[in-house]
Amino acid sequence: MWTDKQRGIRVSKEELLCKNACGFYGNPAWQGFCSKCWRDRAHPAGAPRQDIRPSNDGTPLTFFKFEEKKNIEKGRRISTMRRLFWGSPSPPKQDTSESHTNMLKAYQSLEPGDFPGFLKILRSPPSQRLHSQCKAFLKTMEAYHDIPVQKQSDHVQDFYQSFAEHFDGFPDPQITQIMEHLEKLIMTQLHKWVFCHDSCDDEQKDLILQRRIRSLNWVTPQMLSVPFPDENDISVTSDPFLPAITAIIEMDAKRAPQDKLACVFKCSQHVFKVLSSSNGEPADADGFLSGLIYVVLKANPPRLHSNMQYVIRFGLPHSLMAGESGYYFTNLSCAVAFIEKLDGPALKLSPEEFEGYMMRQSAPYAGNRRQRVASDTQHLLEELNGRQEKVDQGIDALSVQLQKWVQSVHSQLDDAEAQFVVVQKKITAQGELSHLSPSSSHNASQQGEHEEQSVLELTAENAGPTDTDC
């Protein structure tokens, strides 16, 4: 039913990919590039450019000198990470000791999602060196927590890369699993030092975005072409997107970037579920982005900009560059960018209508909303009347059944009473016979015999003389 409507929001999967055509997902925060291409773009190796900043002697630095300075700084940072890990600025030789082999076997046997198991292996004697390096890195980051947040991000990403080099021989899925555990361990403890850092303007942008979303609370699902389920299938006050709204709000309570991404993943799954149930078919990219925009407008998640920047700066690159998590996070970034630049034509409104809604001079579809509420109320009243009639009919039927049951009980009681009287009489007669004594029975027997003898004699007398007498 939505194919004949012109959508105000259109997006394809190709538009979500990196502008550099590397195959990974891009992000508006990186101007459409993926994290890898964005970092490469930030440190280009192309044609020479003139740097307008003066040097110490007053002459402008050439591009080569500037690149040399950047490379020296990058090399110093990498050397610091390697020195922190290996005790020297150069990578260590491959350790073939039995302890190192046992450590690698322990990490290979690690089950997916078993974070307590990862901590247990990391604290075991074979992994004591890695554990000490993690503790040293956390202490260093805590001691230098006032450095700019971008440098903090670079240090964390370099630490990820240095840690991953210990497992070069592992398959990619196992390395990814180990690195996800490491990210959770490191960032859970660094969250209070790097989240919404004083060196950036994340807090101000959070307030701006929050006010922007609050000013757009009049936007309806119909304006965004969000296919809502049939109104007759849900109650007036329910919102099918409520689980998605709850999931995106929970993102601020998480500390690890992967846990924040999990909230985005959960929210997106709920959006797809609602859209699929309303259309009766899987949702497309346009419908999903529209639904996600609606969820963000309704939820107005706390510190949304800071949470997204935190994931971008300190999350594992593969989580944002590929997979479902990367796709959903890219769509969330697109949704925020759409909200920041939202205007009348995007909602199929004239500039005057859009300005009137923003200034609270009018409300969209006020008459239709009142008519809808009245219609829904009338529908509920009719439904309640039907239910009341069914209840009355049930009461009448139950009353008739109750009367029949009472009559049946009375009849059964009368029959039982009559049978009880007969049985009582029999029991009384048997009781009277059993109360006679043995002596009385003997006298009665003798008296009976005497009476029988008298009867015989009387019978003989009445019979007359016999033949002998004659």
Q: Could you give the CA distance from residue 70 to residue 61 in angstroms, rounded to a whole number?
A: 12
Residue 28 pLDDT more than 80? no
pLDDT digits (tens, 9 = 90+) for 387-419: 898 998 989 999 999 999 999 999 999 888 888
Residue 17 pLDDT more than 60? yes
Q: What predicted TM-score, i.e. pTM, was given to this entire model? A: 0.63
**Of 110-119, 201-210, 216-225, 411-420, highest mean pLDDT:** 201-210
CATH number of the 110-194 domain:
1.10.246.120
Q: Tell me what pLDDT residue 265 has.
A: 95
Radius of gyration of the chain (CA): 46
Return all residues near 184 (Cβ < 8 A) that are at least 6 apart.
115, 256, 258, 259
Alpha helices in 165-256 (DSSP H): 172-194, 202-215, 242-249
Q: Tell me what pLDDT residue 30 has.
A: 58
The mean of the pLDDT values for the chain is: 77
What mean pLDDT is predicted for residues 237-253? Answer: 89
pLDDT digits (tens, 9 = 90+) for 85-109: 444 555 544 454 677 787 888 888 8
The boundaries of every CATH 1.10.246.120 domain in the chain are 110-194
Q: Tell me what pLDDT residue 109 has.
A: 85
Q: Could you give the CA distance from residue 297 to residue 219 in angstroms, rounded to a whole number?
A: 8
Q: Which amino acid is at 107?
A: Y
* Topology adopted by domain 201-362: Glutathione S-transferase Yfyf (Class Pi); Chain A, domain 2 (1.20.1050)
pLDDT band at 422 (very low <50, low <70, confident <90, very high): confident
DSSP per-residue codes, 39-53: HHHHS--SS-----S
The boundaries of every CATH 1.20.1050.80 domain in the chain are 201-362
Measured between alpha carbons, how far is residue 50 from residues 59, 66, 170 in Å?
A: 11, 9, 44
Q: Is 101 helix (H, G, I), strand (E, B) or coil?
A: helix
Bridge partners of residue 304, in order along the sequence: none
pLDDT digits (tens, 9 = 90+) for 151-186: 999 999 999 999 998 888 888 889 999 999 999 999
DSSP per-residue codes, 27-81: -GGGTT--HHHHHHHHS--SS-----SB-TTSSBPPHHHHHHHHHHHHHHHHHHH
Q: Could you give the CA distance from residue 216 to residue 224 in angstroms, rounded to a whole number?
A: 12
Q: Which amino acid is at 385?
A: N
Supply φ then ψ for residue 4, to 5 degrees: -90, 5
Q: Could you give the CA distance from residue 26 to residue 10 in angstroms, rounded to a whole number?
A: 17
Q: Which amino acid is at 90?
A: S
Bridge partners of residue 52, in order along the sequence: none
pLDDT band at 470 (very low <50, low <70, confident <90, very high): very low
Q: Tell me what pLDDT residue 48 has.
A: 42
Q: Tell me what pLDDT residue 126 has.
A: 87
For the chain, the residue count is 470
| Angle between helix 172-194 and 257-279 (nearest 10) | 110
Residue 243 pLDDT more than 90? yes
> 243-268 as b/e, with b when 16 or more CB fall inside 10 Å?
bbbebbbbbeebebbbbbbbbbbbbb
Bridge partners of residue 54, in order along the sequence: 60
Bridge partners of residue 25, in order along the sequence: 17
Tokens of residue 56, six digits: 């110490």
